[in-house]
Structure 1
Amino acid sequence: MSSSLLSFRNVVLLSTALRVGLILYSEWHDERSVVKYTDVDYRVFTDAAAFIANPGPGHTNQAKGPLTELLGRFVNLGDPYSRETYRYTPLLALLLAPNGWLHPSFGKYLFAFCDIVNGVLIYQLLKTEILSRTMRWNPTTSKSRAPARPPAEIERFSTLYAAVHLLNPMVFSISTRGSSESVLSLFVLATLYTVLKDQWDLAAVLLGLSTHWKIYPLVYGLGCLGVISGPEHGNGLKRIVNWRTIRFGFISACTFILLGIGCYAIWGYPFLYESYLYHIHRLDHRHNFSPYFYQTYLSYPEYGIPVDTTQTIWIKLLRSPLTSFVPQMGLALGLGLLFGRKKEDLVFTWFVQTAVFVVFNKVCTSQYFLWYLLLLPLLIPRLSMTKGWAVAYGAVWAGTQALWLSEAYKLEFLGQSVFHGLWWRGLVYVVGNCWVIAGLVDVYDKEGQ
């Protein structure tokens, strides 16, 4: 592609047109087809937004928080949790309130806009923080390095890597179908942007907001601790626990707590349960990439049959939904401490933390892959591997999903009882993804800055 075609402006225009076209197509398609283009979650969001904007008379569909009870005539908001299966922050429902009075696809346009902003942030980070500080391998030897990249090369590669996000079919299809992942992605990228710009107080606020939106960005805080302190604190405990890390943690925790208190004051216990507590003891027996689903499916309590209370403590422990958190959080937090030493390594640290969090999550769907794919364009410049290995990693990552999906199709659409086959394919998915993550750790260029 010529440099005129591969300009960032053209990539943004193409990305915008692509998303607008898909949203318009989704409206046309949904009116004419039984199988909808729009994700079912978008209908859940829209219903929750309608409930929050239209409180019912008396106590039907009224926000149930203590502040609402005290100031009912001044705080007249509905309860988004009147919509079954809405298990998100009420701020998302507030954000999508225009779905009801402006346009039904307002939320899709908002999510697509966040996609574009994410691409702009990725481009800016590549241009100012990553490629400008990355040395090139000397083509004559693998041990020496060429001078830093010239401005024209930085511009070209910044555009190319940003296009990996903006023109990624998984990214634009999920946002135009009505998934809200791009909003959280914007908060995460904004947090990373402020961290790399050394704006630590603002980064702490954004991390608290991100964790309020969804809990997984919590792990990034631990990955930041070694970076916050700087080299002057050495490598011991003092590097993790000092006044700078305490300040960062305090601001971040206060942001998270204040947002939670505000939502609880208005919407009460339903907010606390649906947004947080439900996910702790969640028993999702529906098939998903995680092999945990099969054990949950086999032990899921059936209606009308009393729960067996004679199980041993080990059986109860293995069946507990909390057990899955041990390998997941142990790896995610441990890798944050292991790799989070320098600011230049923070993208890599967050990527690895997110990848293991997703792979070992007790529920895993394709939407979760966006959590770490968001960081991939920022990581690519620091991966030193041959094209052969790049193809191998990509093939294993996609192949394990294809293997699982081929069996899931038999269950979902053909009604065949293939739970056991789906389970071992889930194990292959975990092993394959762990191999890819280990490979990326191995080819990460720690001396690239």
Structure 2
Amino acid sequence: MIISARGNADSLVCLAVLSTLYFLRQKEWITAAFIHGFAAIHLRIYPIIFLPSIFLHFINLNTVTGFQDFVKKCVLNIKGFVYIFIALTSFAITVGICYWFYGYKGLFESLLYHFSRYDIRHNFSPYFYPLYLNANDPEMLKLIGFGAFIPQAVAVIAFSFKYSQDLEFCWFLTTFAFVTVNKVSTSQYFIWYLIYVPLISNSLNINNRKALQLLAGWFIGQGIWLGFAYLFEFRGWNTLVFIWLSSLLFVAINFWIIISLIQRYQPSHLNKNKENVKKLK
């Protein structure tokens, strides 16, 4: 709510994403697909990164016996194809409606702008400084933008294949990594992955000490960055290099958190089995 008070509607985006997840868990996947496209992707383009994990979720990779079996199940994954079709079609309909009312300007400001956006102002992304230094070189800006897309694509694909049967944990990792290596990253984006923390807590075998270490590292990384940003913005000191180094440190901290949580991940059904064993004893 505090983040949304600064002028954006990310709480509504998070509501749409969580609603999509809820209806998927309720086996009402058509409703989920409609909300996914009509609301989530329309409000923010980033929820489109969840489509691969949903497609693979319908396959259930745990039952795949080999590459040929995987290809066969992909081809026969009618539910997955229909889900993607409904989501993208409902998204296209909302885009068409908005275009009808607001024309090309509305289309550009809400959607197309993100594909050509190059933010040279300091933000948590380490890409800001290379973009700043090459602000007058369009070709280099395109190259940096493409370079930023590669680790995002790798993260989306890798986590989708590995954790598609646990959508909560999959979407948390996917969003966390996506935001971390995005070419623009601000505090409002953090809520995109923080919404999953209560949902994945039961799937993590982590003690309070380690949890506090991860949380402290996350806040310390931001604090260091904000300290140099304060000196730059309010004191007029030339600390851009230190802000950039702080951005690199924050990226390292985020991936340390991701790796630590992956190492302590236990599927929820294993935790339930442990609880049942304790009850029997």
| Fold shared per TM-score above 0.5 | yes
Query: Secondary structure of 1:283's match?
Result: coil
Higher relative contact order (CA 8 A, sep 6+): 2
Cα drift, residue 202 of structure 1:
0.5
Q: Do the aligned partners of 1:285 and 1:294 also contact (CA within 8 Å) in 2? A: yes
Instruction: Say if 2:216 is the partner of 1:386.
Output: no
Amino acid corresponding to residue 71 of structure 2 in structure 1? L
Distance 2:26 2:106 in 1: 34
Query: 1:292 corresponds to which residue?
Result: 127
Query: 2:271 corresponds to which residue?
Result: 448
Q: Do the aligned partners of 2:55 and 2:81 also contact (CA within 8 Å) in 1? A: no
Query: 2:278 corresponds to which residue?
Result: none
Cα drift, residue 397 of structure 1:
1.0
Q: Which has the higher helix share?
A: 2
Instruction: Say if 2:79 is the partner of 1:256.
Output: no
Q: Do the aligned partners of 1:226 and 1:337 also contact (CA within 8 Å) in 2? A: yes
When residues 240 and 337 of structure 1 are mapped into structure 2, their CA distance, relative to the original with a 3 A threshold, is farther
Query: 1:227 corresponds to which residue?
Result: 57
Listed as ranges, the gaps of 5+ residues in structure 2 are: 273-281
Cα drift, residue 277 of structure 1:
1.6
Distance 1:407 1:271 in 2: 36
Cα drift, residue 381 of structure 1:
1.6
Match of residue 2, structure 2, among 170, 173, 195: 173
Q: Which whole-Å deviations, capped at 9, do the CAs of 1:100-158 have from their partners, x for residues lacking one?
A: xxxxxxxxxxxxxxxxxxxxxxxxxxxxxxxxxxxxxxxxxxxxxxxxxxxxxxxxxxx
When residues 260 and 411 of structure 1 are mapped into structure 2, their CA distance, relative to the original with a 3 A threshold, is same
Cα drift, residue 338 of structure 1:
2.0
Cα drift, residue 222 of structure 1:
1.1
Paired residues for 1:102-251 under 5 Å = 172-209=1-38, 210-230=40-60, 234=64, 236-241=70-75, 242-251=77-86
- The sequence identity of aligned pairs, in percent, is 35
Cα drift, residue 254 of structure 1:
0.9
Match of residue 436, structure 1, among 234, 240, 257: 257
Instruction: Say if 2:175 is the partner of 1:351.
Output: no
When residues 194 and 224 of structure 1 are mapped into structure 2, their CA distance, relative to the original with a 3 A threshold, is same
Distance 2:37 2:259 in 1: 29
Query: 1:160 corresponds to which residue?
Result: none
Distance 2:62 2:118 in 1: 46
TM-score under structure 2 length normalisation: 0.88
Structure of greater Rg: 1
- Count residues in correspondence: 264
Query: 2:156 corresponds to which residue?
Result: 332
Amino acid corresponding to residue 26 of structure 2 in structure 1? K
Amino acid corresponding to residue 238 of structure 1 in structure 2? K
Alpha-carbon RMSD: 1.9
Listed as ranges, the gaps of 5+ residues in structure 1 are: 1-171, 302-306
Q: Do the aligned partners of 1:233 and 1:239 also contact (CA within 8 Å) in 2? A: no
When residues 232 and 366 of structure 1 are mapped into structure 2, their CA distance, relative to the original with a 3 A threshold, is closer
Cα drift, residue 257 of structure 1:
1.1
Q: Which whole-Å deviations, capped at 9, do the CAs of 1:353-381 have from their partners, x for residues lacking one?
A: 11001101111111100000011111112
When residues 379 and 232 of structure 1 are mapped into structure 2, their CA distance, relative to the original with a 3 A threshold, is closer
Distance 2:254 2:61 in 1: 33
When residues 327 and 415 of structure 1 are mapped into structure 2, their CA distance, relative to the original with a 3 A threshold, is same
Distance 1:180 1:317 in 2: 29
TM-score under structure 1 length normalisation: 0.56
